[in-house]
Amino acid sequence: MFFMIYDLFVMKTVRLLLTGSLSIALIAMTLIFVARARAEEPRTQTVFTQTGEGANVIPYLRRGGKEVLFVDLEDTKDFDNVSLNFTYISGGTMRGVISNTNPQTKKVDGSFGGKDYIRVRIDLATCSNKVCVYHSDGGNKLKDFKLTVTSRNPSAKVKEVIRVLTIPN
């Protein structure tokens, strides 16, 4: 009788150990798969073309109700001013936003691929008294996105360089 109880105990213990080991292995494989999938994703899903020189610019256009353009600026250590001029058409009307930032005084927002970046947020909206009306409201079609980035380096021969990004409709 003792041996039967002992055998049952051993069998349950072995079964628990095997189940636990398989669970741990499955979790580890899942984590590895997810990490590889994320590593292969592009930095941005926003399609864009660019010309010119200056701070490296990576745009993220968020659509779906409250459109926002996030702009990551890299390689800005030599610039004391980066100016963003963003234009687009909303419901047949040309709209635009101008933003300036001094990379020397702005804190780093993150790092990607070993490069630090500063993130600038541009709401595609008309704002007053902290109330914004997004230009996508009411079914307006947003199109013809163009971002002109002027980077100013006071110690270089060419003081300002321009990079132009175009985001297809």
Query: Residue 141 gets which letter from DSSP?
Result: P
CA 60 to centroid of chain Cα atoms: 6
Q: Which helix (H) or strand (E) holds 149?
A: strand 142-152
Give the C-alpha separation, 144 to 9, whole Å.
72
Q: Are strands 81-90 and 142-152 parallel, antiparallel or unpaired?
A: antiparallel
How many angstroms separate the Cα of 161 from the Cα of each of 34, 38, 122, 131, 136?
Answer: 40, 34, 21, 34, 32
pLDDT mean values, one per 10 residues, the chain (169 residues): 60 66 62 49 78 88 83 89 90 88 90 90 87 71 88 83 83
Give the C-alpha separation, 71 to 117, whole Å.
9
For the record, the structure tokens of 140 come out as 């307006």
Q: What is the pTM of this model?
A: 0.68
CATH number for the region 49-167 comes to 2.60.40
